[in-house]
Amino acid sequence: MSEMQFDELLPGAKVRFTVIDEVQYLSIRDLIMIICTQNGHDAMQTWRRLPEDRKSEVGTYCSSFTFPGRGQQKQPVITFDGALTLMNWLPGENAKTWRGKTAQILKRYFAGDPTLLDEVRANANKTSPINEAARAALNNPPPQPAVADDGEEQTLVKRRKLYNDLSSSLSVGVKEVKQYSTSLSTCNRHLAKHILLHNQMCDAKERLNGIEIKHEHEKLTIERAKLALLNDGRNQDLEHKRALKALSAADPAIPIPPETTTVLKVYEATKHAYPLLRSEQRRAFLVKAGAHAATAYVLAHGVQPPKINERGQDVNAFPAQAEPIVSRALLTAYTDLTAGQSQPRIDAAFPKRAHTNPMY
């Protein structure tokens, strides 16, 4: 494979070339890669995007050729004359440098710079590939436009127009695909945020429902406790009323002398100072209080209190003025039985069975 050094453009740069019908052609792909500093794919894209009028201008200098090598395909090639014209249109720093050199040479030529003669003589003696290509181009016949009938020309025009339309449509399609991809990515991000927010809201709602259920359960427990306390109070009050009714019905015909008092009489007058007692508990309490009252009365007066029948029971009768002794006896008995507790446990303080001693 033949290569041509292009050190004038880029040190170490090489361009493949071939000879077709005794005319030397350079690879347009390699030339654009050097000038525009591009890879092979981008170089061919640069050539395809070249305006049609400029392609037409260098069209007579172009041909196509498949260079030897694995995977090579037919590609456009151009003569040395056409390459000089093409390099004036291409972008890139190397092309800019080339155009500057060309303008400098033309300026020196029109100015009649004599040093230009020395450079021309030196180039005439050089045998580098680019110098040989330039000398060969001087001997090449002028390019002739391809002869084609009107039908072929119209077909070529249609094909070029179709290619341009297809390229334009493809560019628009690629742009729309990129925009759609960007929009889709944005939508996916927003969707992920909404899903996360929805899950957080569901978790919060579930926790709130659990708190509400627990609160309702606690409220129900409190209401049940209140109802139980209320029922217990009602039952105790009903039991107390039944006990009083039973005591009143035991022996209503026996009156208590008005000038005397008893432990039961003082208790009924001050029972609001003591918790409600069941009948058997109250009887044991009154027996203990009667014993305390009798002892205190003996110590105060030196005699035993007389006995009277009260509701079928023989009990101690105290003078009305001894009522304070009886009251203290009730308080002492209550304190002894409850051990001074502010809220006594009635079942623990009194036995459930009635006391057998009727004396109080």
Q: Is 127 helix (H, G, I), strand (E, B) or coil?
A: coil
Query: Residue 345 half-sphere exposure, CB side, CA atoms within 13 Å?
Result: 2
Helices (H), 112-149: 115-125, 129-139
Name the nearest CA neighbour of 236 among 348, 354, 360, 347: 347
Q: Which two tokens stand for residue 41?
A: 């794919």
Whether the model clears a pTM of 0.95, i.e. scores above it, the answer is no
CA distances from 279 to 90, 169, 189, 282, 284 (A): 123, 108, 80, 5, 9
pLDDT tens sequence for the chain (360 residues): 577 777 666 677 788 888 888 888 989 998 999 888 889 899 899 999 999 988 888 888 999 999 888 888 899 999 988 988 898 888 888 888 888 988 999 999 999 999 988 888 888 888 877 787 788 888 776 666 554 445 555 676 567 667 666 766 777 777 777 887 788 888 788 888 888 888 888 888 888 888 888 888 888 888 888 888 777 777 777 776 776 666 556 544 444 445 789 988 998 888 787 776 667 777 888 888 999 999 999 999 889 999 998 888 889 999 989 999 999 998 888 888 776 554 444 555 555 554 455 556
Tokens 């939508």 locate to 187
Angle at CA of residue 8, ends 126 and 94, nearest 5°:
165
Q: Please give the backbone phi and psi of residue 342, each rounded to the nearest 5 degrees, phi first.
A: -70, -30
Measured CA to CA, the distance from residue 26 to residue 19 in angstroms comes to 9
Angle at CA of residue 132, ends 130 and 138, nearest 5°:
105
